[in-house]
Structure 1
Amino acid sequence: MSSSHHAWLGDYEISSTTCSGLTFARHSHDECVIGVNLIGEEKVWLDRRTFEAGPGSITLYNPGQIQGGGAAQGAPWHFVSLYAGADRLASDLGLAHLEFDRALYFAPALAAQLAQAAKGALNVDPLVRELNEEALVLLLGDVVRLSGVRLPGGASAGTGMVARAQELLAAQLHQSVALGALGDALGLSKFHVLRTFQKETGLSPRQWAMQLRTRRAKGLLRSGLNAADVAHDLGFADQSHLNRHFRAAYGMTPGRYQSAIGSKTTPLPRHQTGPITG
């Protein structure tokens, strides 16, 4: 018995497969393929040579490489795969070119993190998927480093870049700003933006925008706007989404907060903001 789940996360294709005794004929892909083996022993045939990848292994394939193999008949196997165009992956990481020089690494901790993020990308909640995209971008940087590729620096411009990113996020607080769009506006790679932002603030851009959105929600609730309108105006998916984040930040729901401060809901004018610009 086998099961397989697939999804697109931005420009990446993700799959998670649980099976028994599955084998693949020799084939190739147009994309870079990163495989994470969680359970079982995979026997890999790659460009006329064979090797084994056990639990905790990460396998890396360049576009066009001939590969094949699988698990022995009846043997349990659980693996996660990520497919990314070489140019797209290089661009996301701030590289002019990307090519893996080794096909196998044993890195159990990184493999577990990759698998967790990839599985999170299969979640039905779009916000969960977006957060896992951020996690994957950073983890893919770690994978590329394993292959001996040095990623671009840029820490010296960190503070100024983060301040500009925060301005852009605050200007569009009513909607979720994709990491790629933020990078394009700043003229930087996804990886550079995400790594530098987290280093400076301790949060990803999306997490920082959410805490600002939640903080502003508190002010609007205090002034009397009802929770449903606050959720709409600040770009929460719905009122339950606002409730979840507000309670996590402040220990109570918006309704209880308004009751505690004696607020009376009154209609307030809505606001609008313009599109993200560079």
Structure 2
Amino acid sequence: MDEPLFRDCAHYWRSPLVPGGDMVTAEYREHEFAPHWHEAYAVPVIEAGAEMFAYQGGHHVAEAGTVPVINPGEVHTGSRAMEVGWRYRVFYIPVDFMAELTGDIAAAPQPMPWFPADVIRDPDLAARVARAHRLLEGLNGSAHGGPFPLHGDPLAAETALIDAMSTLIVRHALRHTDARQPNIDPPRVALMKERLAADLTEPLSLSELAADVGLSAFHAARLFTQATRMPPHAWRNQLRLQRALAPLREGVAVADVAAACGFTDQSHFTRHFRRMFGVPPGRWQAGNGPGR
């Protein structure tokens, strides 16, 4: 008997146990994620099917029972690797959460953890991540008048979360170093990022951006793309999408968010948002708005 095909559907949600983080439970078949990045660590566990993605200069396949971690700020894609598609659960864990946990494990401040590009094939870790995600999802919902529903057990859920993330760090974390990219000029890249982020509604030419760091337009574009794996305009659009999440959660109208974040119109915003998050902004907002 043939396996049923997965649908394109996603449920985004939050938990007070992961301040500033996001979670998603989703399945995809037709949807393909365009190159994008996240400000948080993406920690997925593939439950069924398989996902194919480009990441850190390579192409990878994550099958059921694997944990394909994506580091903050790293550009990646996503699409099905088999006919049925894939189903997964994903934690988007803030950098400060992971940094604090890493320091707690070592009993001393540590550099931010960095995870290898290769898909993590660790069945025990996958089971821990999936269990933590399910327990937190079971707590999701404020319909009972509080941060957790009456049947939830925050103690068990938070314990499972710390267990899963600490296991990930202890077994698989590396030290992040710029030695991976010896030809990159971090100060100039940082200045360009700062200018791109200063006013997302400001029209900005490549020549203006390049002049700010004392380079030609050609060299500025090449440097920035080498450092981020994304040209400046695409990186800026990704930042716009990241900055759109907070006002969407606060219930601001989609059209107003689009304008405030520098998109030319709502349809332009919606197109980019769906390519990154797998759902249009209105649907994302419905699951992440006030009281969620």
Tell me the TM-score normalised to structure 2 length: 0.47
TM-score by length of structure 1 reads 0.49
Which protein is bigger by CA-based radius of gyration?
1
Greater relative contact order: 1 or 2 (C-alpha under 8 angstroms, separation 6 or more)? 2
